[in-house]
Homo-oligomer: A and B are copies of this chain.
Amino acid sequence: MIVSIIGLGLIGGSAALKLKKSGFADQVIGVDVNDEHADKAKALGLVDDTLVLPKALAISDLVILAIPVDSIRKLLPSVLDRIEEGTTVIDLGSTKSGICGAVLGHINRKNFVAAHPIAGTENSGPEAAFDSLFDGKTGIICDKEESQESSYLLAKACLEAMDMHVVEMDSKSHDLHIAYVSHLSHISSFVLGQTVLEIEKDEATIFNMAGSGFESTVRLAKSSPKMWGPIFKQNQKHISDSLGAYIENLKAFKNMIDEGQEEAMMDCMENANEIRRVLDGINDKSKEREKLNQII
């Protein structure tokens, strides 16, 4: 099978590596408007070859869009205009409603499968790609009923070849929940980084006083603005709601500190501690899946 990947950054590059390594793709073609990225992806061996978009579309069984969500929204309709009848198109963007909305009613909508791999790092560009990025992670497929069965099955097989566990939901629910579980933590981290840099003009202080806790909490502040700006715009309403809820809770916590309401503060922290049980559950599940994969 010939797979074309549009966008050769962290996500596209890692998908390219994995689909080749797993044998799912016989040939991986890279497409990137940034020539430097395209050349680097080829030099790094992420893709077998690079082509311009029309040529790639003409020969591909599967086309994967791994570009920022605003670019997916712009490009997807014209990709669907130009594909061959048997070609399937997947996107890997972090928002889903706007993207699905952009091709609602398109004559080739059935060839498209909306996907979101819950995987990433704070790094970007072809150099950041690695073949195990998606191992054991969740791959979400949205609005499955809008895709023809053959395209859905191919997309599912593709995510599974990338070692992901597939979960299905509708694009509206996806955007609501992902605002809380992913997008909000990026904003909390960006703004934490900003706040600390504003006050600590002398970096030596951060050098001397920052521990692994700060590093962990602020890690996502290193993420690419070009990728995240469009996400915040496309999922505006849900992100604004989640950020509003976070700000209200922070104000309440500040008030507890200011008023010395120790018991309320303890209750708050004890409730937040529940996240340990939830996260341990995720890790157990992921380990179980790894074991299962080894047995298979």
Contacts and interface: CB of A to CB of B under 8 A. Distances in A.
B279 A194 contact: no
Given A185-B192, A272-B190, A275-B218, A250 B253 contact: no
A149 to B, nearest CB: 23
B205 A181 contact: yes
A215 interface: yes
B245 A253 contact: no
A222 B275 contact: yes
Contacts of A192: 184-185, 188, 246
Interface stretch (A17-25, A77-85, A101-109, A236-244): A236-244
Interface in A101-141: 118-122, 137-138, 140
B250 A243 contact: yes
A262 interface: yes
Contacts of A214: 181-182, 185
A265 interface: yes
Interface stretch (A32-40, A59-67, A152-160, A227-235): A227-235
Interface in A194-236: 194-200, 203, 205-223, 225, 228-229, 232-233, 236
Given A191-B250, A243-B254, A196 B213 contact: no
Contact of A262 (B194, B229, B268): B229
A247 interface: yes
A235 to B, nearest CB: 9
A251 interface: yes
Given A177-B205, A192-B188, A119 B211 contact: yes
A234 to B, nearest CB: 11
A193 B275 CA distance: 6
A198 B181 CA distance: 12
Contact of A181 (B188, B200, B265, B278): B200
Interface string A131-175: 000000110100000000000000000000000000100000000
Contacts of A209: 118, 138, 140, 177-178, 181-182
A276 interface: yes
